[in-house]
Structure 1
Amino acid sequence: MNHSKSSEPETPPSVTKATWCAVRSRKEVNLQIERLKSEGISTLRLGIDCIKFNTKKGLSWYNWLLPTLASDFELELIFDNFFHCPPSATHRKHSFHEIVEYFIHRHGQYFTLVELWRNPANRVKHDIDENIYSEDVIFTATWAKRHGKKVSLGGIQTIDFEWITKLISSQFFGTIEYLNIDKQSEDEWRTNTKFFERTLRSLFKAKGLNTQIITTDDNLVNFQPLKEEIAC
């Protein structure tokens, strides 16, 4: 499953779906696969739920799901970095970096690009003067790039602006394919996303960066759950 060999950053394909597939019935997923194929979908941006991965059934599920989907679609993986994990939760069987590392080593032949999200907790505690490379998403992005994967940052919000400008200054974005702005998370996005996007484009242009900027759209597939999902 190879993407274009062009050295230019790739804009996500037009016939693409972002898919968050719950741990559930394999038969139902196979039916959904046939539906997506009939719609002409060629690429799936597959969301990886880090909380579910940290369960025995979740690990088994993803080990089945990736090769199954890869037989019919080009895959790009989205890692949510415990985005929905309660702030008070401290114990994690596997860290964000370990999860991404697992997928690259175990299923790396099925995808060439990973989209990494910033953990919301880091938005609260981040000190702009600290070493940005110590944050899990930056460390993981650097590691994934060294292992031959294209890397993008997703789930970006206006609150991340100062953090992003520091990344631009560090030349980190020279290795990033695209930046995905999340305009659906908060009501405020309806009024300031365009300004935020224009500002970042200007900064990228001024620094001579080829990183593309996209915004989260409504082109999502949430495989319809059965009456009862598999308990995790």
Structure 2
Amino acid sequence: MEINAYPTAAPSSSEFITEGIIWFSVRNRKEVNSEIGRLKSQGISRLRLGIDCAEFNTKKGIKWYDWLLPTLAESFELELCFDNFSKTPNRSLSRTYMLPEIVEHFILKHGEHFNLLELWRNPANRAKHESSENIFSEDVVFAATWAKHLGKKVSLGRIQTTDFEWIATLVSSQFLKNIECVEIDKEGENLRNTSTQFYERTLRSLFEAKGVKTKIRPSSKSSPNQQLGNKEIAC
């Protein structure tokens, strides 16, 4: 059983991809162990675990996650979802480690505990008009390529209609051959002004025309994310 799981059209390539994400902020370890017991009592065997990159860069962040990953892996199969500094705009932090370095840390130190990871694009990058000649200038692209090189399956999450030009560039560059699944975000946009269903159909047509095998999955609008801890870490 997965948290907030729902059927997907391609379970073979995205078997861990579920809408529900669980977040454990830095907290008392006894509380986490108690929560683990509660989840296990509900028959949950897989978790989609949120990794807050901003929290990773705090004083206790690395030590916390280095304890949390193997602890959760004793009871659950894991997929990691990396929030690329997108939901903590007011937090004061020193970005000592960028997304590719954080992803590398989890793979090299805890890679035996997960096979699939999901990367979220930083919304700040949507306002930039970076040269399409260097797609690797964006952290999420470099991190995905590096994760694939290190033997992990990678998906892109929280993709919005405003990302169409960016996705088209990834298609042209052959980058998407490294990506298992693209998740279209239905919650992050004003649905009165945009049509994610039309966007999904357009992407499917583009992928088919270009021979791209990457799966496309819309996120569930009604499925809530799950958060734990005293501090709010939105996803």
TM-score, normalised to structure 1's length?
0.85
Q: Could you list the per-position Cα deviations for residues 193-223 of structure 1 after superposition, in whole angstroms to 9, with x for gaps in the alignment?
A: 1111111112122222221112233153212
Contact 2:57–2:94, Cα closer than 8 Å, also in 1: no
Q: Could you list the per-position Cα deviations for residues 44-86 of structure 1 after superposition, in whole angstroms to 9, with x for gaps in the alignment?
A: 1111001110012121111111001101111111111111243
2:56 to 33, 53, 65: 53
2:177 to 168, 171, 174: 174
1:141 to 134, 141, 144: 144
Distance in 2, Cα, partners of 1:213 & 1:99: 26
Give the equivalent residue in structure 1 for 2:96: 93
1:115 equivalenced with 2:111 (yes/no): no
Which runs of 5 or more structure 1 residues have no equivalent in the other structure? Answer: 1-7
CA RMSD of aligned residues (A): 2.5
2:226 to 217, 221, 227: 221
Cα 1:91–1:13 shift into 2, 3 Å: closer
Distance in 2, Cα, partners of 1:159 & 1:93: 29
Which runs of 5 or more structure 2 residues have no equivalent in the other structure? Answer: 1-10
- Aligned partner of residue 45 in structure 1, secondary structure: strand
Give the equivalent residue in structure 2 for 1:207: 210
- Aligned partner of residue 206 in structure 1, secondary structure: helix
Give the equivalent residue in structure 2 for 1:35: 38
Contact 1:15–1:40, Cα closer than 8 Å, also in 2: no
1:102 equivalenced with 2:89 (yes/no): no
How far apart are residue 90 of structure 1 and its match?
Answer: 8.6
Distance in 1, Cα, partners of 2:224 & 2:23: 12
Contact 2:161–2:194, Cα closer than 8 Å, also in 1: no
Distance in 1, Cα, partners of 2:207 & 2:127: 25
How far apart are residue 147 of structure 1 and its match?
Answer: 0.5
The percent identity for this pair of structures is: 57
Distance in 2, Cα, partners of 1:54 & 1:98: 11
TM-score, normalised to structure 2's length?
0.84
How far apart are residue 164 of structure 1 and its match?
Answer: 0.1
How far apart are residue 39 of structure 1 and its match?
Answer: 2.4
- Aligned partner of residue 77 in structure 1, secondary structure: strand
Aligned length: 220
